[in-house]
Amino acid sequence: MIDPAQLVIDQDKDFRVHTSAYLDPDIFDLEMDRIYGQTWVYVGNESELPEPGSFRTSAIGTQPVLLTRGDDGTINVLFNRCRHRGSVVCREEHGHATHFQCPYHGWVYRTNGALMRIAQPDGYPDDFDKEAFGLVHVPRMATYRGLIFASLSACGESLEDRLHDVKKYVDMWADKSPVGRITLTQGMHRYSYPGNWKLQMDNGVDGYHGNYVHESFVKVTERAGEISYNEFTQLRKTGYVRGLSHGDGLIDRPYGGMAGQFDYGDPSLAAYHEQLRAAYGPERAQVLQGQQNLFVFPNLFLFESHVRVIRPVDIRETVVEMHPTMLDGVSDELNTARLRTHERFFGPAGFGAPDDVEMFVNVQSGLQARGVDWLLMSRGLHRETRSEDGEFVGASTDEAPQRSAYREWLRLMTAAVPSPPVSVG
Amino acid sequence: MTQSLTRADAEALLFREARLLDERRFDEWLAMFTDDCVYWVPTNDGDPNSEPSLIYDDRGRMEERVYRLVETRAYSQRPRSRTQHNISNVEVLDELVDGAVDVRSNLLLVELREGDPAQAGLGNQRLLAARCQYLLVNPPDWRIKRKKLNLIDADLAHHNLSFIL
């Protein structure tokens, strides 16, 4: 198998990623172990578990997990696997339950995973320890601003430490609600593509492609009298990209210009601006009217209109969930307007996102040509600056976020082989 | 009050809509709709003002949709899709809805992207199935006031629905 250390070139004036990172099935398996198997991974949202008994199924990499809100209100992240002979215990995607019964031999588990009942228990000795055979909890879980993260590794930094450098941008996202709370809609947009998960990772915080890929969307807005193509291209030269620690990154447009996104600075939103001022003060209220596309490595994007989750399926198969968000505390009209704006651009029938996905399959197709080995990610290296906080800051079309992602990717893929996960039963 | 649309009339209208879409005669397709029309493809049973839809177009957004396909470089339709809209199970219901005739049908849409079939995302024939509800007004020159498609896989992952369903 290819040594992952050979797959990223990270030098002063050159940054490249090798084709094999996107095409080699062994690399995918290693990513499931070393990235999805080690780091904090987004698995779901508190608003998806509104009351005791709420559940939804999710995944960490390709491992099926079951999120529940227990009777005591705490959140559980459980492996969706019966302790008897390995069947999933929940086949629904979301819902409400008082318990989970395995369909195969009838074992019953509480919502906190505890084994409640073995069918026909005379088949086990009296001293069989039921307490040792509940649904297994993932080693660690923690939440921040309603975002539920889980880790398959029992050791490593806390979520709080992991999020230290990106926290302020997560807060900017959540504080668009004057009460600081974001609720996901029950439904979602989902799209799939026959390509690698990292093609989505590379694109969400790419500020370079909009003038080209989204030309058709800009023409639509131009026709509607909203903005001219020239104004749009000029506006898109403003703003920044930022590459953070831990593989995180963002496109930062304090004054707008993000294709297809809701304009929080629109003067007609006076009531909303007043709410922000009252909640956070005038300075912060101004900051909160900007637009950021934020990536939290390895699988989470926070966009102003939605939470986007990458679900890797295989080396060349990926599913992406887009969960539109409602800002708690604002008018229904504002949230509906945000939803209409989201639908115009995003989703498989939107006027923008399908063109991004077309680029993913274009790249997946082009990478089959092996006469070229490397993908070039050096844009902006010559003009990059470093902020006091250690962020790599670039012009909005530069590739600082992609470099941050692949530095973290490389670090994890080449880390000393971690001790085998603590396995239970 | 009974309405005067026969099943044969309803079929003729739906077959014509299908033919216009498959022949890419989008302006004539738009002309089949009223000015206050709604074209709706939900993802779930929820309220479209608080739950996402794949498509929730008023007349203006439908025109944008056509404009983008016909007049711009929309890469998700370059190369473009070939479609075949197959209509069946047409029923004209007795009850009017909002003063309009309620027509139900099934859609089996076969779609395929042209271009180099060796490349990802191209040359794959796929099926989309939907239960349809049309609200028709303005006899005898029937127009579509509402078109709602309930895709059988509405809440599942789709790759590229940028052609007209």
Are the CB atoms for A83 and A136 separated by under 8 Å? Answer: yes
Q: Nearest by CB to A324, from B52, B119, B155: name it.
A: B52
Distances (CA, A) of B7 to A122, A254, B29, B84, B86: 64, 57, 20, 22, 16
- Enter the DSSP assignment of B123: S
Q: Is A312 on the interface with B (CB under 8 A)?
A: no
- Residues 218-277, chain A, touching B (beta carbon < 8 A): 219-220, 223-224
Q: Is A387 on the interface with B (CB under 8 A)?
A: no
Tell me how close the Cα of B39 comes to any Cα of chain A, in angstroms: 12
Q: Is A32 on the interface with B (CB under 8 A)?
A: no
Cis peptide leading into B140, omega within 30 of 0? yes
Exposed/middle/buried for A91, CB within 10 Å: 0-12, 13-18, 19+?
A: exposed
Residue A351: phi and psi, rounded to 5, are -95, 5
pLDDT per residue, tens digit, chain A (425 aa), is 789 999 999 999 999 999 999 999 999 999 999 999 999 999 999 999 999 999 999 999 999 999 999 999 999 999 999 999 999 999 999 999 999 999 999 999 999 999 999 999 999 999 999 999 999 999 999 999 999 999 999 999 999 999 999 999 999 999 999 999 999 999 999 999 999 999 999 999 999 999 899 999 999 999 999 887 788 778 777 899 999 999 999 999 988 778 788 989 888 999 999 999 999 999 999 999 999 999 999 999 999 999 999 999 999 999 999 999 999 999 999 999 999 999 999 999 999 999 999 999 999 999 999 999 999 999 999 999 999 999 999 999 999 999 999 999 999 999 986 655 556 65
**Domain locations in chain A?**
40-151, 165-414
A343 neighbourhood in chain B, CB within 8 Å: 52-56
CB within 8 Å: A355 and B75: yes
Q: Is A187 on the interface with B (CB under 8 A)?
A: yes
Tell me how close the Cα of A167 comes to any Cα of chain B, in angstroms: 28
A287: nearest Cα among A145, A171, A144: A171
A226 neighbourhood in chain B, CB within 8 Å: none
Q: Do domains A40-151 and A165-414 have the same CATH topology?
A: no
Angle at A248 between CA A289 and CA A184, to 5 degrees: 55
Per-residue pLDDT, A423: 61
Q: Where is A132: in which H helix or E strand?
A: none
Q: Using CA atoms, how far apart are residues B126 and B146, in angstroms rounded to an integer?
A: 26
Look at residue A341 and give its three-state secondary structure. Answer: helix
Q: Is A185 on the interface with B (CB under 8 A)?
A: yes
Substitution target in A193, A317, A351 with the highest count of B β-carbons within 10 Å is A351
**Domain locations in chain B?**
7-151
Six-digit token pair at B146? Answer: 């509402």
- Give me the CATH code for the B7-151 domain, please: 3.10.450.50
CATH H superfamily, domain A165-414: Naphthalene 1,2-dioxygenase Alpha Subunit; Chain A, domain 1 (3.90.380.10)
Are the CB atoms for B39 and B28 separated by under 8 Å? Answer: no
A224 neighbourhood in chain B, CB within 8 Å: 60, 64
Where chain B has pLDDT below 70, the residues are: 1-3
Q: Is A349 on the interface with B (CB under 8 A)?
A: yes
Q: Nearest by CB to B120, from A344, A351, A364: name it.
A: A364
- Residues 33-92, chain A, touching B (beta carbon < 8 A): none
pTM of the full structure? 0.96
ipTM reported for the complex surpasses 0.85: yes
CATH classification number, A40-151, choose in 3.30.420.590, 2.102.10.10, 3.40.50.740, 3.50.50.60: 2.102.10.10
CB within 8 Å: A335 and B156: no
Six-digit token pair at A123? Answer: 């088949």
Closest A-chain CA to B153: A190
